[in-house]
Structure 1
Amino acid sequence: MPRFLTMIRIEENTIDMEEAGPEFGERMGALFEEITKAGVMLDTAGLLPTSEGTRVTWSDGRISYTDGPFTETKEVVGGYSLSQCKDKAEALEWTRRFLELHPASWKVTAEVRQLDES
């Protein structure tokens, strides 16, 4: 079965976790439990803020390092999941369900990409 990487993109300076309410974590935990029991979820995690990250760039034959936060970037990867689904349609369905758990006022984007395992 194919594996899919889902990258969760957020505007990290606009997310207010208190707006999500205490039931947000419970709903998310229930969905993660369902995905895991279905044998789909291989791994998932949120990421620390960009203020704690470093970008490593290869350009013109040189390596450069830029410490966060990355203020010039509007959207950042805030988390990921690695899943094994029967097809892309199933991966997109799980992603839809995940996104719909978030408050309607948040902007959260998910990029779903199949791993190249050829």
Structure 2
Amino acid sequence: MRVMVLVKATEDSEKGFVPTAEAKTAMEEMGRFNEELRKAGILRTADGLKPSSHGKRIAFDGRRRTVIDGPFAETRELVAGFWLWEVKDMDEAVAWVKRCPNPMPGPSEIEIRPLYEIEDLGDFQ
């Protein structure tokens, strides 16, 4: 089962990366966690995202496209980083996330979403 593990943005992540001793320690902790995921054969890819002020959204309405410049409102709805994992089931994904160091200086959330697999598409195979 493939899952996308989403690190939700916070006010801190939307400020951008600030190179401090605390940030260095947090990055080292996350590096060790990612290495555990790699050794376990779970990690497919992972990365952090720059703040939404560096991003753009494209709104679709029929054939019309509208480009919207960041930053975007509702920080709690944004994503600051992600992993793509291959796990046995959702319980295994939850167990790994529980082992993860807090990805933010303060309170944070990580969301786990299963990816569609070809067998989920039924008649479209």
Short-chain TM bin = 0.7 to 0.9
Percent same amino acid at aligned positions? 30
State the 1:68 CA deviation.
0.6
> Would you tell me which structure has more strand in proportion to its own residues?
1
Match of residue 54 from structure 1:
56
- Tell whether 2:111 aligns with 1:111: yes
Gaps of 5+ in 1: none
8 Å Cα contact 1:19/1:103 also seen in 2: no
8 Å Cα contact 1:10/1:107 also seen in 2: no
Match of residue 34 from structure 2:
32
How far apart are the structure 2 equivalents of 1:33 and 1:105? Answer: 21
How far apart are the structure 1 equivalents of 2:54 and 2:85? Answer: 26
> Would you tell me which structure has more helix in proportion to its own residues?
2
- Tell whether 2:97 aligns with 1:95: yes
In angstroms, what is the RMSD of aligned CA positions? 2.2
* Count of equivalent residues: 113
Deviations 1:28-63 (A, max 9, x none): 111111110000000000001111100011135521
Match of residue 7 from structure 2:
8
Deviations 1:70-111 (A, max 9, x none): 1x222210001000001100111111222xx22786122111
